[in-house]
Structure 1
Amino acid sequence: MYIKEEQLRKWVKGNASAVDFLLMVMKISHVWDDLIDKDKSLEDDVINHCFFDALVRLPRNEFYRKNFDHLNSIMMNSMSNWLISNDLEREGGDLQLNIAFILRSSYVDLITQSALLVGGQAWASQVGKEVRKLTHHEKFDGYLRALNEEKKARQAAER
């Protein structure tokens, strides 16, 4: 995970419940990605903990509950974009990969929107620029290298 807890804390102006919400969503997203890509072996405890977070802790999170109507729609859109990006990656092609590179990180919109909820639109715009730069630090070439490794790992797991 590229985004550290201290950075999240700054972006949500110290709101501990918002930090916990974002950390859970990022962790769940990464485990889900690893399960689909089959590029990492996950211990049962990691998977079990992730499902507990998704099914028990996340719905009980104070920040998420208070802002559910706003955040849940963004979460649904992020999931849709991630699924679309996986399909585009598997299709291949320059256009598809360029689109997938950005779409797959739509979960960071939850960070920008959390910043909006705690600090207003100007703050959200500032945070949005910072989080996008950090999220795409690998640049497109790095993304393509990682995608190639994931494809190899997935093919090996399917054998």
Structure 2
Amino acid sequence: MPRQNEAAFLRSVLCNNEAAAAYCEMLFRISQTLDDLIDKDKPVTDAVLIRTFWEALIELPANPFYRQHEPYLRPLMASALQDWRDSACLERSDNHHYKTLAFVLRDQLTGMVSQCAYLVGGYEWMNKVSLSIRDHFHEDTLEAYLDGFAKPAEPDKEGVDS
């Protein structure tokens, strides 16, 4: 998910709210480590794993933006995680439709950024920046995503489903 100008972009759409940007950046790092562990496409070092757990268990819950908006953010995080899990299962199918569903579901953290924009700037601000948020984070096309599957795989009966 990280793009070259991601830090500056986040701060611009989050009204320079440093705690909100830090919250989003932590979510991105945590989700990337989870993705790397499940997809097994990039090795995860012990140091990265320990740092990720530290962020998930210590830093994210202590983040002032998260603490202020936890009743709003936590259900969105739960939904995004479940959507990502479903995506990881669906993309392992040889069914084209399931893979397109996986593409839609795999990155619900983009919606989290739009909701953070709402929390820092209100409804009008969210509507002003939401399309640029989607454009920024969804630069990959469906075709490119589908081309990334060299050979259809069978669904993992023990991995994500467990």
TM-score (norm 1): 0.89
- Aligned CA RMSD, in angstroms, stands at 1.7
Query: How many residues of Structure 1 are paired with residues of Structure 2 in the alignment?
Result: 151
The partner residue of 1:92 within 77, 91, 94 is: 94
* Aligned mates of 1:128, 1:96 — CA distance in 2: 26
Which residue in 1 is equivalent to 2:133?
131
Which residue identity does 1:77 align to in structure 2?
A: S
Query: Within 5 Å, which residues of 2 pair with 1:1-80?
Result: 1-2=2-3, 4-80=6-82
Q: 5+ residue gaps in structure 1?
A: 152-159
Matched with 2:103 is: 101
Give the AA of the match of 1:44. Answer: D
Distance in 2 separating the partners of 1:27 and 1:42: 12
Please say which of residues 52-61 and 136-145 is displaced more in the overlay: 136-145
Q: Higher helix fraction: Structure 1 or Structure 2? A: 1
User: Which has the higher mean CA deviation after the structures are superposed, 4-13 or 128-137?
Assistant: 128-137
Separation of aligned partners in 1, 2:128 and 2:104: 19
Q: Which structure ranks higher in relative contact order (CA pairs < 8 Å, sequence separation ≥ 6)?
A: 1
- TM-score normalized by the length of structure 2: 0.87
- d(CA) in 2 for partners of 1:10, 1:147: 34
Distance 1:73 1:116 in 2: 16
Q: Percent identity?
A: 33
